Amino acid sequence: MVYNLALRLSGNTADAQDITQDAFIKAMRGLGSLRDPSAAGTWLYRITMNVWKNRVRSEKRRFFWKTFSLDWGKEGEDGEPALQIKSPEAPADEKMLKEDEKESLEKALSQLDPEDRAILVLREIDGRSYAEIAEITGIALGTVKSRISRAREALRQKMGPLLEGYGS
């Protein structure tokens, strides 16, 4: 589950593996600070979240300083600028109907905010309560509720045709 949480946060398997590894290393080092063994899952997820946040922060820093190097303006092979804010993928359309369910779900998930994805996975797959998610992510309880609701609604709208009659 730690890997899946990392995967939803980072959006790619390579980063997810690094985050998972770092999280386990940090957890092993800080095992002594775990007071309540029954809350080990929450604790480990919180570590994973922190590892991801630190990575994002350091990446931003790296990105910032990258702009100061002499070749900061070099373009990629495809003519796109080397530095660019990644734009979300195109919205779901009718093609989605023909695509595999999983692929459609992944595409819809990729358009969500990384934290929203992680919150959704914690809720849907790991069955964490809103209070636990609030503790893991460091987000207020009310915000967790609204973010889950918002993320689900966004997914529901994107996945619209696929959901009709699904599971019934």
Partner 1 sequence: MDHRTCRENLSAYLDGELPREEKALLESHLAGCPECGKVLAGLKSLSLLIHKHAMEPVPLSLKNKVFAEKREKPAYYEWFRPALAASMAAAGVLITLNIMKGPETLQAPAQSGAAASLMNASTTGEQQPLPAVPRYSGFKREKARMAAGSSLDMFKNAMPAAAPSGAGGGGGQAGSASGLVGAFGSGSRAAAPSLAEASSPEERASEPKIASVAAVRGSARVKNGSALYYKAGDKGAASAGKTETPAGAAGAGDAELAAKPARRASPVEEFIIGAYTAGDEEWGKKAVNRFKTAPAGAASEADKDACGKYAAFILDDGTYCIMPGGARGEFRIRKYTPADAGDTAPGKQYWDVFEYGGDKYLLLNNMARERKRCFEYYLLGPERIRLHGEIDYGGQ
Binding segment toward partner 1, per CB under 8 A, in 7-15, 31-39, 47-55: 7-15
CA dist 105 and 45 (Å) reads 23
Q: Which DSSP letter does residue 164 get? A: T
CA angle 129, 130, 133 (to 5 degrees): 90
Smallest Cα–Cα separation from 123: which of 102, 95, 151, 96?
A: 151
- Residue 7 interacts with partner 1 (CB under 8 A)? yes
CB of 137 to partner 1, least distance (A): 15
Give the interface size with partner 1 as a residue count (CB under 8 A): 63
In which element (H, E) is residue 45 found?
helix 40-66
Tokens of 148: 């889950």
Q: Which of 26, 42, 50, 130 binds partner 1 (CB under 8 A)?
A: 130
Cα angle 50, 117, 36 (rounded to 5 degrees) comes to: 45
From residue 97 to residue 116, what is the string marking binding to partner 1 with x (rule CB under 8 A)?
----xx--xx--x-------
Number of neighbours of residue 108 by Cβ within 10 angstroms: 21
30, two tokens: 């800080």
Member of 15, 24, 42, 139 binding partner 1 (CB under 8 A): 24
Question: What are the φ and ψ backbone dihedral angles of 81, each rounded to 5 degrees?
Answer: -60, 150
- Please report, as residue ranges, which positions from 39 to 98 form the binding site for partner 1 (by CB under 8 A): 60-61, 63-65, 67-68, 72-75, 79-88, 91
Q: Of 9, 118, 121, 136, which lies in the binding site for partner 1, with binding defined by CB under 8 A?
A: 121
Residue ranges that bind partner 1, judged by CB under 8 A: 3-4, 7-8, 13, 17, 20-21, 24-25, 28, 60-61, 63-65, 67-68, 72-75, 79-88, 91, 101-102, 105-106, 109, 120-121, 123-125, 129-130, 145-146, 148-149, 152-153, 155-157, 159-160, 162-168
